[in-house]
Amino acid sequence: MSHLPAPVLQGVQDALRRLGLPSKVLDATPVAGGCINHGAHLTVQGGGSFFLKWNASAPPRLFDAEADGLRALGEPRALRVPTALARGGGSGAPSWLLLEYIRAGAPAPDFDERLGRGLARLHTSAPRGTPFGWARNNWIGSLPQANRESPSWSAFWRDQRLAPQLRRARDRGFLAGPALGTLNRVLEVVPQALADVDTGPVHLLHGDLWGGNSFAGPAGEPIVIDPAVYHGHGEVDLAMTELFGGFGARFYEAYAEAGSITEAYAAYRRDLYQLYYLLVHVNLFGSQYERRTVAAAGRVAAAFAS
């Protein structure tokens, strides 16, 4: 277990004792796949298993926000999510989050359908009158994600999603020249593009639903992980699932049967919502995402050309 920092190991064992669980960690097997945090499958004395994430340079409250998001996604019981059990670190020690370990299995024949229907139920679980946003800010990858609550969806999407990421990209020297003009034009048309969503209904979003954040559990059931939760418009999650692929046709059919997908989604809203995630990728990974970003912005701007 030499890869597991000693303060993290000690903190986890102390937390397990406080939970009244066997606490001696016998093995910590590294788990690949995370691009931000380290991960390990822990085996404890007595045969128990847990999943551990840690990061020596995590932003303050990163794992608090993740635990909060998992709790919120789990409450409606629409989809299974791992339970957050304990968190710790900080003050010079690596931050960590201890989770229920859910063993991956082969997808059941109805995996896509269950995922689509479950996502629709999750989206519609927000109480009537809920504002757009969230009670706390969180992160999208390693970038801050502001969630100041707002009664207007178009203002929220423009001012707390697109504009901050565009400003960050511009400050780093990306998306200059004509590309910047196109993106600024998108900011101008957001109120028109989202007018029909402005006052609701409000949906509970996973917030970062790409293929790597869902998998099949031991019985083949859908599991979702690593949220960037807030209240918004459900088509945001759909747009993210389509950005890099990995979701079957039955997923979208089942979602449409249980929820709703507007005509505007295919016309321009998919691009408008994917634009946020593309800007995030420009800011995280650089110029390789500029072309796709500008193309999506161009399609949105063209849809509202006078």
Sequence-separated (6 or more) residues with CB below 8 Å from residue 192: 304
* Options 68, 112, 196, 208, the catalytic residue: 208
| Residue 216 contacts residue 104 (beta carbons within 8 Å) | yes
Where do the H-state alpha helices sit in the chain?
Answer: 6-18, 62-74, 111-123, 153-156, 163-171, 178-193, 235-244, 249-258, 263-264, 270-285, 290-303
First to last CA, the chain: 63
Q: How far is CA 18 from CA 13, 44, 97, 296, in A?
A: 9, 15, 15, 50
SS3 for 237-294 is HHHHHHHHCCCCHHHHHHHHHHCCCCHHHHHHHHHHHHHHHHHHHHHHHCHHHHHHHH
171 is catalytic: no
- Residue 234 backbone dihedrals phi, psi, to 5 degrees: -55, -25
- Spatial separation of the C-alpha atoms in residues 161 and 163, rounded to whole Å: 6
Return the active site residues: 208
